[in-house]
Copies of this chain bind each other. A is one copy, B any other.
Amino acid sequence: MTMSIAAHPDRLLPADGGTRAIARELLADVQELPIISPHGHVPADMIADDAAFEDPTALLITPDHYVTRLLHSAGVPLSDLGVGGKRVDSRTAWQRFAAAWPLFDGTASGYWLRSEFEHVFGLPASLVDSLPHGGADSVYDALTSKLSDPGFRPRNLFKEFSIEVLATTDDPLDSLEAHRRLAQDPSFSGRVLPTFRPDAYLTPSDPQWKVRVERLMAEASGGVGGFDGYLRALENRRHYFIEHGAVSADHGVRTPLTLQLDKTDAARLFDSALKGEATHAEQQAFEAHMLYQMARMSVEDGLVMTVHPGSYRNHHEPTFRQFGPDTGHDIPFAINYTESIRPVLQDFGTAKDFHLVLFTLDETVFSRELAPLAGFYPSVFVGAPWWFLDAPDAMLRFRSAVTETAGFSRTSGFIDDTRAFCSIPARHDASRRVEAAFLARLVSEHRISEDRAHELIIDIVDRAPRRVFKL
């Protein structure tokens, strides 16, 4: 009888026997450590409200664009999966997923889902295996039954998952009321922190930008007008976030281009952008300058600055029009950091307590740009592999590309970046296994001592995210 891959104690560990034995011991050091999740997309409301999850499809399929995208590539229309608010019969949508389950073999999403099924929901492996072979309904019913159990409410799962810190991602004008409720609730001991995500207010090429800026200034500029008022409003909202526990500001920019402008020029661009008179080049310049301003504000108010560039959002316009954003067709492209981020580093690269975490979907910058930058600038940390790259092989490529230049101290710690709450334990567990595998190889090759590996894995898993995100 073969053991389920999800349950196997050696999953994701290296095949070589000696190396695997070392990896096992390293893994044991960190398997019980709490989860620290300094960047992700779980809604704070969900935890504050603590309502039961609706149904298996609404929980596991519809909102997870990792899952719906691969189903879509196999010919399943997104409308059949409830994407974009389309009404579907939950069970029918689940059956479509179940039929396509074999497509997920070898993918990160398949690995996480299987882990959730077996470890969070306690389904037997044989039941999971039956998904494409007539077992869709049985799995659906088993999950539905679990979801009605009060133990499967978000707050209890939060505790069972051993989550210590969970950061959400929030609009600058969000009231953060859910965060406040959680912070003030003596029955809830976790930390749920907001993250300031201002992209939509910094991008004049977006047709909604003007309306958003006007709302922002009306609510937060303290009566000051023009570019000064705009900056003041952003600063004020950052302070509001900090008062509510925020430790970082996240920037999901198209490119990492930054630009220093003198105040007069920036103010002039702001005015002409508001009037709709800015050229495309002026819009880009303004956007690049605002990323520079965000760095300046982070230096002043201490919010860790994270940059997530390089994704062509909503690549398929017809899908975007029908189903909205975040529907599985954000496609990466090549970026450069060395020249783009230089204006920020010129002025703030050695600023006291400034933390700038640089992420990429373009692996080529790991060894070429990010490790060298983080290996010199005290402010720069290499963001963990993210999105399409937070999978075992990609994570190993990341460590291999970065470590020889920058060591372990200059990387951010794992980021789950997920809106799929129930996948959080599987994601962090996978990351810990991969870190153990990488360190075990270095030990096997006599490149670090086993003693140091035991210290390093704790630093990587636990201390790095606390240190980098000022937790």
Taking beta carbons and an 8 Å cutoff, which residues of A are in contact with B? 2, 5, 8, 10-19, 69-70, 72-75, 102-108, 110-111, 129, 312, 315-319, 328-334, 336, 338-339, 342, 345-346, 349-350, 361-364, 367-369, 371-378, 380, 388-389, 391-394, 397, 400-401, 403-410, 441-442, 444-452, 455-456
Residues B368 and A2 in contact, CB atoms below 8 Å apart: no
A-B contact pairs, 14 of them (CB 8 A): A2-B451, A10-B446, A70-B407, A103-B407, A107-B403, A107-B404, A107-B407, A318-B346, A328-B375, A329-B376, A330-B372, A331-B369, A333-B368, A361-B368
Residues B409 and A404 in contact, CB atoms below 8 Å apart: no
Residues B16 and A73 in contact, CB atoms below 8 Å apart: no
Distance in angstroms between the alpha carbons of A455 and B106 in the assembled complex? 13
Contact partner of A350 among B8, B107, B318, CB < 8 A? Answer: B318
Cβ-closest 7 pairs across A and B? A391-B404, A11-B446, A15-B444, A8-B446, A333-B338, A5-B446, A106-B403
CB-nearest residue of chain B to A373? B331
Q: What's the least CB distance linking A244 to chain B, in Å? A: 29
List B contacts of A450 (CB < 8 A): 2
Residues B376 and A391 in contact, CB atoms below 8 Å apart: no
CB-nearest residue of chain B to A332? B368
* Most chain B beta-carbon neighbours within 10 Å: one of A70, A330, A376: A376
CB-nearest residue of chain B to A15? B444
Residues A106 and B392 in contact, CB atoms below 8 Å apart: no
Residues B13 and A106 in contact, CB atoms below 8 Å apart: no
Residues A388 and B367 in contact, CB atoms below 8 Å apart: yes
Q: What's the least CB distance linking A403 to chain B, in Å? A: 4
List B contacts of A388 (CB < 8 A): 367-368, 371-372, 404-405
Contact partner of A376 among B17, B69, B375, CB < 8 A? Answer: B69
Residues A334 and B368 in contact, CB atoms below 8 Å apart: yes
List B contacts of A339 (CB < 8 A): 312, 333
List B contacts of A444 (CB < 8 A): 15
Residues A404 and B376 in contact, CB atoms below 8 Å apart: no
CB-nearest residue of chain B to A340? B333
Distance in angstroms between the alpha carbons of A21 and B69 in the assembled complex? 35
Residues A316 and B377 in contact, CB atoms below 8 Å apart: yes
Distance in angstroms between the alpha carbons of A368 and B386 in the assembled complex? 12
Q: Knowing that A315-B338, A315-B376, A328-B375 touch, tell me 8 more A-B residue pairs with CB under 8 angstroms.
A: A15-B19, A70-B406, A315-B342, A334-B368, A363-B364, A363-B367, A391-B404, A393-B403
Distance in angstroms between the alpha carbons of A315 and B338 in the assembled complex? 8
Residues B338 and A407 in contact, CB atoms below 8 Å apart: no
Q: What's the least CB distance linking A78 to chain B, in Å? A: 10
List B contacts of A318 (CB < 8 A): 346, 350
Distance in angstroms between the alpha carbons of A369 and B448 in the assembled complex? 34
Distance in angstroms between the alpha carbons of A453 and B173 in the assembled complex? 50
Distance in angstroms between the alpha carbons of A330 and B373 in the assembled complex? 9
